[in-house]
Amino acid sequence: MRDECYCATEEESGDKKLPPSEIPIYLGASKPLESEYRGMQGVAVHGFDGLGTRASEYFGEWEGFSVFEREVEGFEGQMEWEERQERNERSQHTTGDSLDAKTSGRTNTSTPHEGHSHKWSFPSLHAADHMVQQVNSHPDNHFTIICTGPLTNLALAVQRGLEVQKVRDVVHMGGAFEERGNVTPVAEANVFNDPHATHIVYHAGFRSLRVVPLNTTRGIVMTKNNFIPRLRKLNRIGKFLADVTDHYVDYLQRWEKDNIPMHDSTTLMLLLHPELFSPEEEVYCDVETEGRLTRGMTIPDRHKHFGQDNKPNVKLTLSCLDQRKYFNTYLEKLAWLGGGEVVKEEE
């Protein structure tokens, strides 16, 4: 498991456009907090580099890519779940914290795609420590933390002294609330891959923990023959996103057919355009950490079965109100970043 963390300040998230070379990426945890590594399916879905196996094409080679490939013993995107589990068990000795030592502080100077001057350069500070350092040294409400993977790094930050009440918002794509899962019948992958971390974050006392679960993202579907071509034709940023999404779409079509959910991007869309979504429901939620069949299940307790004193700890967004407007707005944001004209999909 490889988590990446970038903490954007309020000034950086405004009108200023930062080139990629100015955005620091801090490497984080390489395994879950307490359980064995079970992220093989995530590698199959997103590619060993997290960018549909296209990262080196755009950004040049980096030694860490081959490290991740070796960790899964010759990654094959089409292998069945049982085979992935078996390979995972055989490769446990390579999926520990040693990955941090192998990759931290490495720099790549290869020639990247289309002449960009990007270099792979990672600070040696752990992502969790970076979050603690930044949040604790700034005024209240200065940071919003967006999580699009397992919550391992954020949970580590909490354990290392993160002043949670200083964080304006945490937004997490994860969970399936009274909804079927996508990695087991009851669990969503980001929570399943580290349920102990999710439990810590849910109970850490953040002033605003906003959760975008499968309930919402399954209602926002892109298609290979509709949205992806519009994305690819928009500008170079759209082409990049379409290219790195091809692997994800091709892999998920075996289960989702032509309706591929927009998972991670929806965290940003919720922040930028909350009017596109149903009102948030504040509720007490917990997560199953040990169940043989229910590991990673997220459970909203609307009727205080778990205790009368339990106060709401998450804000659930359970649906998108206008999928067409969502996609038009998504493309408009990319056009603002990289130019191009959006041909809107009409009613």
Residues known to be catalytic: 263
Q: How far apart are CA 263 and CA 256, in angstroms?
A: 13
Say if residues 270 and 329 touch (Cβ distance below 8 Å). Answer: no
The per-residue b/e assignment along 267-289, b for 16 or more CB within 10 angstroms, e otherwise, is: bbbbeeeeebbeebeebbbbbbb
Q: How far apart are CA 202 and CA 183, in angstroms?
A: 21
C-alpha to C-alpha distance for 54 and 58, rounded to whole angstroms: 7
* Contact partners, residue 292, CB within 8 Å, separation at least 6: none
Please give the angle made by the CA atoms of 287, 174 and 156, to the nearest 5 degrees.
Answer: 70
Q: How far apart are CA 304 and CA 297, in angstroms?
A: 18
> How many Cβ atoms from other residues are within 10 Å of residue 75's Cβ?
19
- Which two three-digit tokens encode residue 120? 């792979």
285 vs 89: CA distance, rounded Å: 32
3-state helix/strand/coil string of 201-221: HHCCCCCCEEEECHHHHCCCE
Q: How far is CA 162 from the centre of its chain?
A: 20
- Smallest CA-to-CA distance from 275 within 326, 213, 328 is with 326
Pairing label, strands 314-316, 209-212: parallel
Q: In 10 A of CB 137, how many CB atoms?
A: 10
Q: Identity (one letter) of the amino acid at 260?
A: I
Pairing of strands 209-212, 169-173: parallel
